[in-house]
């Protein structure tokens, strides 16, 4: 019997779990995939928006502005990469002045700091590669870049260290109401349910309200290019363009690891359609060439697509269902990532306002907000490196040549709470497979390490999801 069950372990669900772990509640975090952050959290532009874009009247506008502020402390406590590199919305004076000024004013109304309008000379100084036609821009110093899955992973790890249970490979198929409890899959009893199931949030809500039409999710797909670190310096800030008559532009931005990300486009699609397409990628490329003529596509190392849960009415749906201990957190598309710490706060407030008996809701005396950082072996001094090697010789085995990651770091990524269970799980946590060789060199070694750590045979190691085995077994007879 749990106090709270959170459905969906993306960045929103994981941060909510962490917030709830500050109290003496028994919480369980559920996800249908074999790892956290497997939905939209894994495949987006990885930006923490300053927040001037969504209207100050909207919930998403308020939560983005607040969320952005919270990221400094959050990234320090959870030790995930976060850099405020600043963003620019590029425009042309004769067409976009009004839009830029409107965004600026909206930002001011939301209390966003360090916003300013800049013009041609400063644009060219800050971004020499950008097309000279852009002569006005909204510059926001508080915008930042991050590693979205690591936010979810670190939040989940911290939540687990503070008592939350994580259950993966658990798809919610039925929710029954029994008195003041819910029964999930005739299996888990819980008093409260928080629905953060991303593109499937409408389906989850339908399990208790079959005729519900509050949440209507239309999935939109966005495709991306990821360029080699050699492209670093192409842009110094996060670059947006003003929407034109043909639609929104694409983002060109540095990533937290020094790559360049370009995308996304936006097309209506099916919920699980994460396929990249020639048409989609061509559209992204064409739009990016509007920002600067020379896009080094030959430096592309990977393409991917992410699905956003677009709500019909356009704003976040974060509300408690009347007369029920069920809270929906749905339609969290952009600026979902940026808003997520504030969303977690907001959900906790909704919960506290409705929780009975309120005097029984006590703080968790053992709550520790800090999640220990991963050891970045190559970032240490020679002396510290040798000390680590003495304690653990696995540090002396550099497995990933491109990103210079040791075996010990990979082992740690598997062994920690909310640890990696697949090759891509390792990739997202500690980088092997994310570098320019895309796992060509390190892949076999990563499989061996995962197999050894999990006590399974090589052919049982997954690439990503369950049933995504890479190998098919020793192909000679067994003794």
Partner 1 sequence: MKNSFDVVIIGGGPAGIAAAIESKANGASTLIIERDAFLGGILNQCIHNGFGLTRYNEELTGPEYAEREINQLTRAEVTVYKNTMVVTIDAKEHRIKIVSKDYGVLWINYTSLVLAMGCRERARGSVILPGKRPAGVFTAGTAQFYINIMGQKIGNTVFVLGSGDIGLIMARRLSLEGCKVIGVAEIRSFSSGLNRNIAQCLEDYSIPLMLEHTVVEVHGDSRVTGVTVARVNERYEPIESTKAFYACDTLLLSVGLIPENELTVQAGIKLDAYTKGPVVNQELETEVDGVFACGNVTFVHDLVDYVSASGKRAGHAAALYALEAETRQREMAISVSLGSNIAMLMPQRIVKQNRSEAFEMMLRVSKRIEKGKIIVSNDREILYTAIRSYLSPGEAITLSVNYPNFNLPIKVNVIEL
Partner 2 sequence: MDVNKICIVCPKGCHLNIEMNRDNAFLRVTGNLCIRGEQYAREEIDNPKRIITTTIKVIEGSIKRVPIKTATSISKSQIEDFITSATSMAVNAPVYMGDVLTIDGIQMKYICVIGRTVLKVDTKL
Residues identified as active-site: 49
Asked if 475 is part of the footprint of partner 2 (rule: CB under 8 A), the reply reads: yes
Whose CA is closest to 224, among 14, 463, 84, 40?
A: 40
Cβ of residue 448: shortest distance to partner 2, in angstroms? 12
- Contact flag: residue 277 with partner 1 (CB under 8 A): yes
Q: How far is the CB of 434 from partner 2 (least distance, A)?
A: 28
The nearest distance, CB 411 to partner 1, in angstroms, is 15
Give the residue among 445, 444, 448, 422 at the shortest CA–CA distance from 42: 422
> Of 368 and 386, which has the nearer Cβ to partner 1?
386
Q: Is the dihedral angle over the CA atoms 388, 391, 392, 396 positive or is it negative?
A: positive
Buried b / exposed e along 411-439 (16+ C-beta atoms within 10 A): bbbbebebbbbbbbbbbbbbbbbbbebeb
- What would the x/- binding string for partner 1 be over residues 332 to 371, using CB under 8 A? ----------------------------------------
Which DSSP string corresponds to 206-274? Answer: HTT-TT--S--EEEEEEEEEEE-GGGTTS-SSEEEE--BTTB---EEEE-TTS-EEEE---EE--TT--
Report if residue 463 touches partner 1, rule: CB under 8 A: yes
Q: Which residue has the tokens 């987006």?
A: 44
Is residue 428 within 8 A of residue 146, CB to CB? The reply is no
* 8 Å CB contact between 365 and 163: no
Which of residues 34 and 216 has its CB atom nearest to partner 1 in the complex? 34
Instruction: Please tell me the distance from the alpha carbon of residue 73 to that of residue 329, in angstroms, as a whole number.
Output: 23
Q: How far is the CB of 199 from partner 1 (least distance, A)?
A: 15
Q: What are phi and psi of 97, to 5 degrees?
A: -55, -50
Q: Select from 42, 6, 1 the least CA-distant residue to 305.
A: 42
Q: Does 472 bind partner 2 (CB under 8 A)?
A: no
> Is position 477 an interface residue for partner 2 (rule: CB under 8 A)?
yes
Q: Does 199 bind partner 1 (CB under 8 A)?
A: no
Nearer to partner 2, 360 or 476 (CB): 476
Note whether 270 binds partner 1 by CB under 8 A: no
Q: Which is nearer to partner 2, 77 or 448 (CB)?
A: 448
What SS3 state is found at 101?
Answer: helix
Asked if 168 touches partner 1 (CB under 8 A), the answer is no
The Cα–Cα gap between 340 and 316 comes to: 11
- Choose the contact partner of 479 out of partner 2, partner 1, none; CB within 5 to 8 A by kind: partner 2
Task: Output phi, psi for 310, to 5 deg.
Answer: -85, 120
Does 125 bind partner 2 (CB under 8 A)? Our answer is no
Q: Which does 391 bind (CB under 5 to 8 A by kind): partner 2, partner 1, none?
A: none
Contact between 171 and partner 1 per CB under 8 A: no
**Closer of 30 and 226 to partner 1 (Cβ):** 226
Q: Which is nearer to partner 1, 322 or 379 (CB)?
A: 379
Residues at the interface with partner 2 (CB under 8 A): 474-477, 479
Residues at the site binding partner 1, with contacts judged by CB under 8 A: 226, 230, 272, 274-278, 280-281, 298, 300-305, 378, 382, 385-386, 389-390, 393, 396-398, 401-402, 404, 406, 437-441, 443-444, 458-459, 462-476
């Amino acid at each position: 019997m749990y106090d709270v069950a959170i459905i969906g372990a993306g960045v929103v669900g994981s941060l909510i779990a962490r917030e709830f772990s500050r109290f003496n509640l028994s919480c369980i975090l559920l996800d249908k995939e074999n790892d956290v952050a497997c939905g939209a959290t894994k495949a987006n532009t990885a930006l923490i928006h300053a927040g001037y874009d969504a209207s100050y009247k909207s919930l998403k506008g308020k939560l983005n502005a607040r969320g952005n502020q919270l990221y400094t402390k959050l990234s320090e406590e959870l030790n995930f990469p976060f850099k405020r590199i600043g963003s620019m919305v590029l425009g042309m004076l004769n067409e976009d002045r009004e839009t830029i000024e409107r965004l600026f004013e909206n930002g001011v109304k939301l209390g966003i700091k360090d916003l300013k309008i800049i013009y041609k000379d400063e644009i060219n100084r800050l971004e020499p590669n950008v097309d000279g036609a852009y002569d006005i821009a909204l510059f926001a110093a508080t915008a930042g870049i991050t590693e979205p899955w690591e936010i979810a992973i670190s939040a989940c790890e911290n939540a687990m260290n503070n008592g939350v249970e994580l259950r993966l490979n658990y798809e919610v198929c039925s929710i029954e109401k029994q008195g003041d409890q819910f029964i999930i899959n005739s299996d888990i009893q819980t008093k409260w349910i928080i629905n953060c199931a991303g593109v499937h949030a409408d389906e989850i809500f339908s399990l208790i309200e079959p005729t519900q039409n509050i949440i209507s999710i239309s999935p939109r797909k966005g495709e991306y290019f990821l360029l080699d670190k050699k492209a670093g310096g192409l842009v110094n800030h996060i670059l947006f363009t003003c929407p034109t008559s043909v639609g929104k532009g694409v983002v060109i931005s540095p990533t937290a690891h020094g790559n360049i990300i370009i995308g996304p486009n936006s097309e209506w699609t099916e919920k699980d359609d994460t396929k990249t397409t020639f048409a989609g990628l061509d559209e992204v490329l064409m739009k990016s060439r509007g920002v600067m003529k020379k896009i080094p596509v030959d430096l592309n190392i990977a393409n991917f697509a992410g699905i956003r849960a677009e709500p019909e009415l356009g704003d976040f749906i974060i509300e408690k269902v009347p007369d029920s201990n069920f809270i929906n957190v749905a339609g969290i598309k952009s600026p979902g990532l940026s808003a997520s710490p504030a969303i977690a706060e907001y959900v906790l407030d909704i919960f506290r306002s409705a929780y009975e008996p309120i005097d029984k809701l006590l703080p968790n005396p053992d709550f520790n907000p800090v999640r220990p950082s991963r050891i970045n072996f190559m970032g240490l001094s020679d002396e510290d490196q040798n000390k680590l090697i003495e304690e653990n010789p696995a540090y002396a085995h550099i497995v990933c040549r491109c990103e210079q990651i040791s075996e010990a770091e990979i082992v740690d990524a598997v062994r920690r709470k909310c640890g990696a269970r697949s090759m891509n799980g390792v990739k997202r946590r500690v980088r092997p497979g994310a570098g320019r060789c895309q796992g060509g060199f390190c892949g076999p070694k990563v499989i061996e390490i995962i197999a050894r750590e999990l006590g399974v045979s090589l052919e049982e190691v997954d690439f990503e999801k369950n049933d995504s085995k890479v190998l098919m077994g020793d192909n000679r007879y067994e003794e």
